[in-house]
Structure 1
Amino acid sequence: MKAIHCALALACGLAASTASAQTSVQVYGLVDSGLAHITNADAEGNGVTKVPSLTGSLPSRIGFRGTEDLGNGLQAFFVLEGGISMDSGASGQGGRVFGRAANVGLKGAWGTLTVGRQVNMTFISSMKSDVMGPQLFSISSIDLYIPNARSDNAIGYLGNFNGFMVGATYSVGRDGVATGGPAATNCPGEVPGNSQACRQYTALLGYESKAWGLNASVDRMNGNTGAGGGLTGSGNTDIRTTVNGHLMLGDVKIGAGAMDRETDAATGLSESLLVFIGASKPFGAITLDAQFARRNARRSDDDVTLYVARLSYALSKRTAIYASVGRMDNDGASAVALDAGGTVAPGMAQNGVMAGLRHSF
């Protein structure tokens, strides 16, 4: 009997060893925190000093990714990635454990097929053209959906054929969380008899090379009862159409883009155009980034303009310190805060400074 037990233990050990040899799993992450001061944070014009919650120069996260080689160029993969609020240690993306990604898929020469919570084509479209990325002062402050362009209950495809990119996502319930930040809009969908409820599709077409890139995307989401953003009926829609591009001039990167938005909400129809242009220049271990952005509201004076610059110093390949300055000008009744997720009174301008430390692993 003891021999049988030993044999079973050995067999189980060999099976576990074989499985681990076939599957490669990586633990990775990024931690980024600092201190920011922003003026005019309330109607009385008082400033505020804070440790940012949503992001620093980049959002903090921890993730697990794994791949298995299935042969003939085919791989299976999974990604589980959660956001971290560095001021409190809470989970990001509306309190989700794996709010940044929770998906499984297959990939090969034909492209990548993904099922689960995933970034959609609006997020992918802006990645290479937005030199500031989702930092505290950025175009993310003007449209908080940009860094949170993820879809629950989704199936997605992305292919790259000699630089030509094509992709799409389709969600039957775009957002299953009700509270906890800009990523939570309470539209879980999957309603019997109403396939339009909380449905979302995004699509991308573009070309990418080392020297330049250009892409266009469309993002259409439906609402449902109780959903955020005024999309309280399944017939209400929010549509974003983007064109983004970047160009390398030596080691200088120039990125620009435009996003047209049309929201048919319960409160009525609103339309706007967001445009941005920025540049990034390395000087050895130092990198200087700067960006200008403006959102024009159609048939309204509620426009907003952003100016931002950032200086980063790489202490190593994984660790950097940075400092950033920014200004947000609000016109009319516009009340867009300079710091993502912050506050400002309508029509007020805000100035801000921030400094922090970032480490990836």
Structure 2
Amino acid sequence: MKNTICSAVALMCGLAAASIATPSRAQTAVQVYGIVDSGIAHLTNTNSAGDSVTKIPSLTSSFPSRIGLRGTEDLGNGLQAFFVLENGLALDTGVAQQGGRIFGRNANVGLKGAWGTLTLGRQQNMTYISGLKTDVLGPNLFAIGSIDPYLPNARSDNAIGYLGNFKGVVLGATYSFGRDASAAGGPAATNCAGEVGGNSKACRQVTGLIGYETRNWGVNTSWDQLRGNTGAAGGLTSSIHTDVRRTVNGYLMLGTTKLGAGVIVRETNANPATGLSKSNLFYAGASHPFGSFVLDAQVARRDTKNSGNDVDLLVARLSYALSKRTFVYGAVGRMDNDGVSAVALDAGGTVGAGLAQNGAMLGLRHHF
């Protein structure tokens, strides 16, 4: 893995140097960018014995750490070509995220014009995009991604994507021939490579989005269907098995204060052992800047149908800008598990079944 990461960084630096050194030969403008974010978190009730733990998080802190390359070329007549190669990394150990992929966050190429954007490759799908402006905490360590880990990992391999904005009307869709080629495990690597001869439904994924956005308010709705295949995670062990999410959400600006809320309706039709499950995830939050500070707060509840295993979430985060690129932050949160539910407050963490979990975090983030 060490060699893989070194190779990825060397490739990024080499491409960037080539672009800078030979501007007369290469018309593509290439940018190296990233986020480096880490913190220390303390969690209670991490097991049935009620033990606590203090750790440096692996999956995310306030934002997932990453390093990327993106470039554009002007083709004339308002048309541009572009590419994005983006690597996610765990800052506690330095390993690659998204199932160990070198460019697991994004690896795509496309065309962009007044008609919208057409993208080919691994990319964020419409479930991810629909929540960008309404989930005020985003991929924070304590957030709705702890309840549904797919949400901050809503990307598709082998995909064709389209997104357009026509005077505020937003339309988008993705179609994947094989949604997840990594077998490393977790929500970002579910072993469903697809592209199987004789079974076009194997690991297929279709997502869609329609909405309306202005500077002061916006609403959207999205639809996301994942299909399975032999060996896929989450009980989706056949192409007839599906996992469907429907979202409706919106945001409202009151001066500089942002309000965001939504509902995610999920229906999973998996193998007989797992069966059919339905749930509604409701969330609402607010973000308020004052001076160099930003205060974010969010509440959420997942109601699982025909089950007492519901969960409730409460989170607050305070960030302070040391500069335009460097921030310090602190966050507190609580996850209440009903019945035998075992949803951890921290993304990727553990909690004793049926126990409430409290957490606190301090961290540092730098953008480049």
TM range (shorter): over 0.9
Distance in 1, Cα, partners of 2:55 & 2:213: 38
Distance in 2, Cα, partners of 1:103 & 1:283: 38
Do the aligned residues in 2 keep the contact of 1:255 with 1:277 (CA within 8 Å)? Answer: yes
Alignment of 1:106-145 (within 5 A): 106-145=111-150
Distance in 2, Cα, partners of 1:335 & 1:229: 16
Distance in 2, Cα, partners of 1:134 & 1:176: 23
Choose from 16, 19, 24 the match for 2:25: 19
Do the aligned residues in 2 keep the contact of 1:123 with 1:146 (CA within 8 Å)? Answer: yes
Distance in 2, Cα, partners of 1:236 & 1:295: 22
Do the aligned residues in 1 keep the contact of 2:185 with 2:191 (CA within 8 Å)? Answer: no
Distance in 2, Cα, partners of 1:210 & 1:58: 24
Aligned to 2:327: 320
Choose from 238, 245, 254 the match for 1:240: 245
Secondary structure (helix, strand or coil) at the match of 1:124 reads helix
> Under a length normalisation based on structure 1, what TM-score does the superposition of the two structures give?
0.95
Residue 336 of structure 1 pairs with residue 338 of structure 2: no
Residue 50 of structure 1 pairs with residue 52 of structure 2: no
Residue 287 of structure 1 pairs with residue 283 of structure 2: no
Aligned to 1:89: 94
Deviations 1:256-292 (A, max 9, x none): 0000000001121000000000001111100100000
Alignment of 1:204-283 (within 5 A): 204-266=209-271, 267-283=274-290
Q: Would you say how many aligned residue pairs link Structure 1 and Structure 2?
A: 347
The one-letter amino acid of 1:348's match is: L
Distance in 2, Cα, partners of 1:207 & 1:56: 31
C-alpha displacement of 1:333: 1.4
Aligned to 1:10: none
The root-mean-square deviation of aligned C-alpha atoms, in Å, is 1.1
Aligned to 2:5: none
Q: Show structure 1 runs of 4+ deviating over 6 A.
A: none
Larger Cα Rg: Structure 1 or Structure 2? 1
Deviations 1:71-128 (A, max 9, x none): 0000000000010101100000111110000000000000000000000000000000
Aligned to 1:154: 159
Deviations 1:293-322 (A, max 9, x none): 000000110100000000000011110000
Choose from 168, 178, 202 the match for 1:173: 178
Percent identity for Structure 1 against Structure 2: 69
Choose from 339, 350, 360 the match for 2:357: 350
Distance in 2, Cα, partners of 1:280 & 1:335: 28
Do the aligned residues in 1 keep the contact of 2:87 with 2:102 (CA within 8 Å)? Answer: yes
Secondary structure (helix, strand or coil) at the match of 1:214 reads strand
Distance in 2, Cα, partners of 1:78 & 1:360: 20
Residue 98 of structure 1 pairs with residue 103 of structure 2: yes
**Structure 2 gap ranges (5+):** 1-20
Deviations 1:178-199 (A, max 9, x none): 1153201000000000000000
**Structure 1 gap ranges (5+):** 1-14
Distance in 1, Cα, partners of 2:76 & 2:102: 32
